[in-house]
Chain A
Amino acid sequence: MVATGALGAVGAAAVAWPFINNLNPAADTLALSTIEVNVTPIAVGQAVTVKWRGKPVFIRHRTEAEIKEAEAVPMSQLPDPETDNKRVTDTAKKVRPEWLIMIGVCTHLGCVPLGNKAGDPKGEYGGWFCPCHGSSYDTSGRIRKGPAPKNLVVPEYLFTSDALVRIG
Chain B
Amino acid sequence: MASSHGTPPVFNNKVISWIDHRLPIFSYIEKEYHTFPTPRNFNYFWNFGAIATVMLVLMIATGIVLATNYTPHVLMAFDAVERIDRDVPQGWLIRDLHMNGASFFFIAVYIHIFRGMYYGSYKAPRELLWILGVVIFLLMMATAFMGYVLPWGQMSFWGATVITNLFSAIPVVGESIVIWLWGGFAVDNPTLNRFFALHYLLPFIIVAVVALHVVALHVHGSNNPTGIDPKGPQDTVPFHPYYTMKDGFGVMVFLIVFAAFVFFAPDYLGHPDNYIPADPLVTPAHIVPEWYFLPFYAILRAIPDKLGGVLAMFGAIAVLFILPWLDTSRVRSCTFRPIYKWFMMFLVVDVIVLGICGSKPAEGFWVPLSQLATLYYFAHFLVLLPILGKIERPLPLPPSIADAVLKKKAV
**Interface, chain A (partner B; CB < 8 A):** 20, 23-26, 29, 49, 51, 53-56, 104, 108-112, 131-134, 146-149
Does B273 have its Cβ within 8 Å of any Cβ on chain A? no
Given the known inter-chain contacts A26-B190, A55-B186, please indicate yes or no for A131 contacting B158, CB distance below 8 A.
Answer: no
User: Which of B136-144, B298-306, B376-384 has 4 or more CB atoms under 8 Å from chain A?
Assistant: B298-306
Does B362 have its Cβ within 8 Å of any Cβ on chain A? yes
Contact at B281–A109, with CB atoms within 8 Å?
Answer: no
**Interface, chain B (partner A; CB < 8 A):** 158, 161-166, 168, 179-188, 190, 194, 280-283, 285-287, 301, 303-307, 309, 361-363
CB distance from A4 to the nearest CB of B (A): 30
Contact at A133–B280, with CB atoms within 8 Å?
Answer: no
Neighbour of B190 across the interface among A25, A49, A53, A108, CB < 8 A: A25
Cα–Cα distance between A134 and B361 once the two chains are bound (Å): 9
Contact at B280–A132, with CB atoms within 8 Å?
Answer: no
Which of chain B's residues has its CB closest to A33's CB? B185
Neighbour of A24 across the interface among B168, B179, B281, CB < 8 A: B179
Contact at B185–A55, with CB atoms within 8 Å?
Answer: yes
Cα–Cα distance between A26 and B180 once the two chains are bound (Å): 10
Contact at A26–B183, with CB atoms within 8 Å?
Answer: yes
Contact at B304–A146, with CB atoms within 8 Å?
Answer: yes
Contact at B281–A49, with CB atoms within 8 Å?
Answer: yes
Contact at A53–B362, with CB atoms within 8 Å?
Answer: no
Cα–Cα distance between A143 and B363 once the two chains are bound (Å): 18
Contact at A109–B194, with CB atoms within 8 Å?
Answer: no
Cα–Cα distance between A53 and B190 once the two chains are bound (Å): 13
Contact at A25–B184, with CB atoms within 8 Å?
Answer: yes
Contact at B280–A109, with CB atoms within 8 Å?
Answer: no
Complex interface: chain A residues within 8 A of B188 (CB) = 54
Contact at A133–B301, with CB atoms within 8 Å?
Answer: yes
Cα–Cα distance between A20 and B173 once the two chains are bound (Å): 15
CB distance from B284 to the nearest CB of A (A): 8
Complex interface: chain B residues within 8 A of A55 (CB) = 185-186, 280
Cα–Cα distance between A148 and B165 once the two chains are bound (Å): 12
